[in-house]
Amino acid sequence: MTKPDDKSGRIPLLGDFEARMRRLGSANGGWLVAVSGGPDSFALLDLAYRSMHRTPRPLHAVTVQHHLRAEAEDELMAVRGWCEARNIPHHRQDLEPPANPAAARHARYHALQTVAIEQNLPHVLLGHHADDQVESILLALVRGAGPKGLGGMQDCRNLGGGIQVLRPFLETPGQNLRDHAKKHQLPFHDEPGNLDPQSARGRIRTLIRPELESLRQGCGMAMVNNGALMHAAGQALQKQAKRLAQCEEREVWQRASEGLRLAALQVRAPNTPNTQLRPLCQAIADQEDRPRRFAVHGGVMELTARALMGPRPL
């Protein structure tokens, strides 16, 4: 069995990792580390392994195999070999090639949840870092997301079945993880598709992010540091929006700000694009009294001189 040969003081990321995990509330229970074999997830696994020797706990690893690239099997076996040399149980989850990225993400989280429940491991650790967070925020921005989306990925969220997903590196630059993987000679690989400008994230990495940094150096980390504020703003807005959404009195809706009205309409008619809700949002505030109907997802909403009703099926 290979033992870690360093202490926290000699590995800066290890102390940061352990402090972050404590703040995320993972003091008790085992860890399941999702490892693709890239530098980020391999660094996460290595740090979790070193931490386990300081604070004993169950530690398992899992690799999800989508069978999209021929070399993926060799990469999976490299992860397994590294784990076996350290007596870390390694699980593989084989999935059918996904129809699209959203389907792949859903299937991947379901696979992680399945292993975590089977192995009685309450915490699933993911290696998303600050650069991934910047990409998520920029993608949310271009699709017109509100405060919740602009806050990016959450560092802790419930996956269901008593399982939590933890992302301890959302404030850590990806280069720091790569440097750790190189320094400790982890057998990681780089997936070519990560820099493919044909994909949205690849375009951000290769074209958009460098241009933004040239305009204002450090803007990416500024976006990341703003995430907590955006999440808090989103929670406060959602609380008020839910309260307004339960009301039908037009006068109450008129007194609300346009942003709050739009958020409440999203609660009333989920899955309706903002571009479709905006005319209704503006109509609520005008002085026209004639009854009007507006199409939304799943039906129509009716606006009268005194009330906002619906949505109701057509």
Q: In this predicted structure, what is the pLDDT of residue 102?
A: 83
In a domain, 124, yes or no: yes
Q: Is the pLDDT of residue 5 over 60?
A: no
In a domain, 225, yes or no: no
User: Residue 198 corresponds to which tokens in the numbers above?
Assistant: 């044909």
Concatenated DSSP letters of 180-236 = HHHHTT------GGGG-TTSHHHHIIIIIHHHHHHHSTTHHHHHHHTHHHHHHHHHH
Same domain for 254 and 152, yes or no, is no
Judged by DSSP in three states, 277 sits in helix
Q: Is the pLDDT of residue 1 over 70?
A: no
Alpha-carbon distance of 295 to 301, in angstroms, equals: 7
In a domain, 229, yes or no: no
Same domain for 201 and 262, yes or no, is no
pTM of the model: 0.86
Same domain for 80 and 184, yes or no, is yes
Q: Count the domains in the chain.
A: 2
Specify whether the CB–CB gap between 314 and 298 falls below 8 A.
no
Closest to 26 measured CA to CA, from 159, 170, 137, 165: 165
Average pLDDT in the 128-150 region? 92
Alpha-carbon distance of 226 to 15, in angstroms, equals: 24
Same domain for 37 and 143, yes or no, is yes
Closest to 166 measured CA to CA, from 13, 27, 306: 27
Same domain for 267 and 213, yes or no, is no
- The order of strands in the sheet holding 31-34 is 90-94, 59-65, 31-34, 123-125, 163-166, 156-160
**Residue recorded with tokens 């530690």:** 59
In a domain, 278, yes or no: yes
In a domain, 99, yes or no: yes
Same domain for 301 and 211, yes or no, is no
Closest to 146 measured CA to CA, from 311, 52, 263, 303: 263
Same domain for 267 and 205, yes or no, is no
In a domain, 240, yes or no: no
Q: Is the pLDDT of residue 8 over 50?
A: no
In a domain, 19, yes or no: yes
259-293 pLDDT, tens digit each: 999 999 999 999 999 899 999 999 999 988 899 99
Domain that holds residue 209: 8-220
User: Residue 68 corresponds to which tokens in the numbers above?
Assistant: 């999209």
Same domain for 170 and 24, yes or no, is yes
